[in-house]
Amino acid sequence: MSRPTFISSCLTVAFLLLPGCSTISRLNYPVTRQTNQTDVYHGVTVRDPYRWLEDDNSAETKTWVTAQNKVTFDYLERIPQRAAIKSRLTELWNFERYGAPFKQGSRYFISKNDGLQNQSVLYTMTTLDAEPVLLLDPNKLSSDGTVALSGYDISDDGNLMAYGLSTAGSDWQEWRVRDVRTGTDLPDQIKWVKFSGASWTKDGNGFFYSRYDEPTEAAKLTKANYFHKLYHHRLGTTQAEDKLIYHRPDHKDWNFNGGVTDDGRYLVITASQGTDPKNRVLYQDLQTPDAPVIELLMDFDADYGFIDNDGPIFWFSTDLNAPRHRVIAIDVTKPERSNWKDIIPEATETLTGVSAVNNQFICAYLRDARSQIKVFGLDGKFIREIELPGIGSAGGFGGKRSDTETFYSFTSFTIPGAIYRYDLASATSSVFRAPKLKFDPADYETRQVFYTSKDGTRVPMFISHKKGLRRDGNNPTVLYGYGGFNISITPTFSVANLAWMEMGGVYAIPNLRGGGEYGEQWHQAGTKLRKQNVFDDFIAAAECLIANKYTSSKKLAISGGSNGGLLVGACMTQRPDLYRAALPAVGVMDMLRFHKFTIGWAWTSDYGSAENADEFKALLAYSPLHNIKPGARYPATLITTADHDDRVVPAHSFKFAATLQAAQRGRAPTLIRIDTKAGHGAGKPTTKIIEEAADKWAFLLHELK
């Protein structure tokens, strides 16, 4: 496929924007007031002159935000390529996208986005070839697409849907109930839900959910979230009448998720503590009115993921004595560990998910960060491997034990997700929905390489680009990373990344320690006192790209969001010479105070806490905010955050930007882009995603010359 004509004009314009010839004059940043605020940690005095920016409700902070956005958008709007990039992104984004369907009762449920809709729309179908019937269109709930469907659960008969809505990107959800048959809402309304789904009882008379107590209006986006509580809501009653099922006032940091088993017999309660993958498990027999909640697994010694049950036999995926997970069976009538049974042993690949469909286990594995799907009998006997369309990521495979079909999606860095139907009786896959594209995936390629980190650890990295790339060290390259919270980064399609490659760029993703690609040991190797391993892995990835002539320091940008924003902040302050540009998004930048806001306390399982002397020392050594050195030359930086981010509060980015602007030497810009009516990322409307992507790529085109 030929390259669009706007690309050549972009490159011509970029050539004119060399140092000394830039059409954008030196920036005049807003003056950010400094105070004498200091704190003493374990005998060490630490300055925090921009503490006042933590108050997102103050008039001074709001004025600062407005002034910073004016500088940033004035800068971005003067980059000639920006409009053409946004136009091409919009064109590429305009294709139909589907979620994997599932069946409940006599109906199938499926989500679809026509292309440029801000939010995907939920439909029902009586058969797979029937005309879809509209069930819920979130785009009609706000004029700007900032109300998003955050979750939903369908009753066993398929007639009722409990659904959650998030506004302006906040983690707070409001849940309602819709009659699937009529498409109308019932009066039921549930507020102050966060980090929870819903789960219907078998009879469809109510559902379980978790919530926090109602916060004050001023504190709802910043106040620490403690004392999660699990409730049951009965249809037709008010929230004030909801029954409290379980809470632990003696453990303010326990969070609860309640799910009803497919047979309707049990409520299985998972109790998590922060973001630690370890958890506790309790259950309640729903056949007995007011039955007590029974403690089943309370040692907090491993991750126990409930799969399904056969009467009192509960199946779990666990990393207990198996860092890459195995499947076990526990009889809750005799739960002693001596009675546990191994069903599927630990493999060399990492087991990431298990479902029970067609009286078989469908197991999702990662093999060097690529999906691999295997089918086992309920006795653990291997049956077959499901052949996938290529090297990429497969997700879905849901259903009930009685189902003979399941659906899954498959995607890669250069192929948008297609939806497949898998017939378990015939062991065959067929395409259910496939997108029609405005580019040719055959024009691109992805390879996986392995490089050596600072301490000798072997780390994999995916590298994607247009075919025919010349490895002459002159290719603009984006190095993206995450490395935390046991989260695996696998091949996934992104319109924005495709546009970058279409412009001739390279996109590289290393699988850093701290993630879950190689099991719990890989995760733990990038946590707390070992967090520096993650940054070393990322720095080594940059050096690998340069050594193998994919790019050079003057053509290299680094990017990451959330924990990945921390990654970018730490690496640009540790090795500012290694990159030309940096894109830290919604990052955790103040490693001494992160635990004081919203759900930040939960991250201490990965980061540690400044309240502990040894962990404070490690945190201070890499905290992006505290390692900015006055007079140093840092890469050109575009920080992105949002005013409704109540996951990683924007104060992290505010303070980092103010400190970096004051310290930066030379002409490299330090900008902060603060989105409005947006949050940490989930539910962001398509228009905002396109605008932000256009701004980032325009910034890089200008800065990478």
Sequence-separated (6 or more) residues with CB below 8 Å from residue 382: 374, 375, 376
Around Cβ 115, how many Cβ atoms within 10 Å? 17
- The residues that bridge with 2 in the sheet, in sequence order, are none
Q: Is 210 a catalytic residue?
A: no
Of the candidates 577, 567, 571, 580, the one whose C-alpha atom is nearest the C-alpha of residue 701 is: 580
- The one-letter code for the residue type at 96 is E
Of the candidates 567, 579, 544, 583, the one whose C-alpha atom is nearest the C-alpha of residue 448 is: 544
Rounded to whole angstroms, the Cα distance separating 110 from 101 reads 4
- Give me the residue label for tokens 């790209």: 545
- Give me the residue label for tokens 């497919």: 262
- Give me the residue label for tokens 């980015």: 653
Around Cβ 608, how many Cβ atoms within 10 Å? 21
Rounded to whole angstroms, the Cα distance separating 274 from 587 reads 18
Sequence-separated (6 or more) residues with CB below 8 Å from residue 579: 479, 542, 553, 556, 557, 558, 571, 572, 635
Q: Which of 562, 605, 623, 653 is catalytic?
A: 562
- Long-range residue pairs from 76-83, CB within 8 A, at least 24 positions apart, any chain: 76/671, 76/673, 76/695, 76/698, 76/699, 78/23, 78/24, 79/24, 79/698, 79/699, 79/701, 79/702, 80/13, 80/23, 81/10, 81/13, 81/14, 81/698, 81/701, 81/702, 82/694, 82/695, 82/698
* Residue pair 645/169 in contact by the 8 Å Cβ criterion: yes
Kindly compute the dihedral angle of the four CA atoms of residues 280, 286, 291, 292, in this order, to the nearest 10 degrees.
Answer: 0
Token pair for 148: 């998003």
Rounded to whole angstroms, the Cα distance separating 142 from 178 reads 18
Burial per residue of 587-598, b for 16 or more beta-carbon CB atoms within 10 angstroms, e otherwise? bbbbbbbbbbbb
Q: Which of 465, 523, 644, 680 is catalytic?
A: 680
DSSP class of 321: T
Q: Is 25 a catalytic residue?
A: no
Catalytic residue positions, numbered? 562, 680
